[in-house]
Amino acid sequence: MKTLILLLVAGLMAGCAGSRAASGTASEDDGYRQFKRTCPYSEADCKREWRDKKGDEMSARYTEEARARAAADRERRKEEAAQREAKIAEDRRKREAENAAAIERTNKMLEANAREERAAQNAAAKREQEAKARCGDDYRQPKIGMSIARAQECVGKFRMTNQINRADGVISTYQGSGMYLHVMDNRVVSWGKY
């Protein structure tokens, strides 16, 4: 009978240990029991020490997790900064390429304008040479007795601004090219600069 009771008690204890292991508190209780064996203080002080030790372990675990999160956060920020810098560099390269293309277009446009201006100057010089050859001494120099048509052709563009009736005839005043001409019977009778 004694053996039967002992077997029952041993079975119950084994069942309790199994249920503790299943619940996950067995290792904590076993850890506390081992700690209690080495703890020189009273039961309450040992429990307080055990809680402090467990708190320190949890704090250390939390600190490690926080360090890992902080390291991951630093890495993420470094990657984001590298991506921002790469995007800025790419944008800078695009702007520089656009600026270079704009400068190239402007240079081509300026060269075309210079060519057109040179062509216009050459054409004007050619017209002036032709006018000098055609007009001779009358080029840009009005003379008394010159016809108004020759003055228009050789001296410059004139327009009639005034007419005066006199006893000897009608005097027309023409202005243009920085000078005036007094014309009677389609001939220059006087001229001057203004």
Tokens representing 145 are 């007795």
List, in order, residues 6 or more apart from 149 with CB less than 8 Å away.
186
Are the beta carbons of 138 and 152 closer than 8 angstroms?
no
CA separation for the pair 12, 16 (Å, rounded): 6
Tokens representing 150 are 């020759």
Between the two ends of the chain, the Cα-to-Cα distance in Å is 152
Q: At 65, which amino acid appears? A: E
Given this model, what pLDDT does residue 75 score? 94
Given this model, what pLDDT does residue 19 score? 47
pLDDT in tens, the chain (194 residues): 556 565 565 565 555 554 444 444 556 667 777 766 777 777 777 777 777 777 777 777 777 888 888 899 999 999 999 999 999 999 999 999 999 999 999 999 999 999 999 999 999 999 989 989 999 988 989 999 999 999 999 999 999 999 999 999 999 999 998 999 999 999 999 999 98
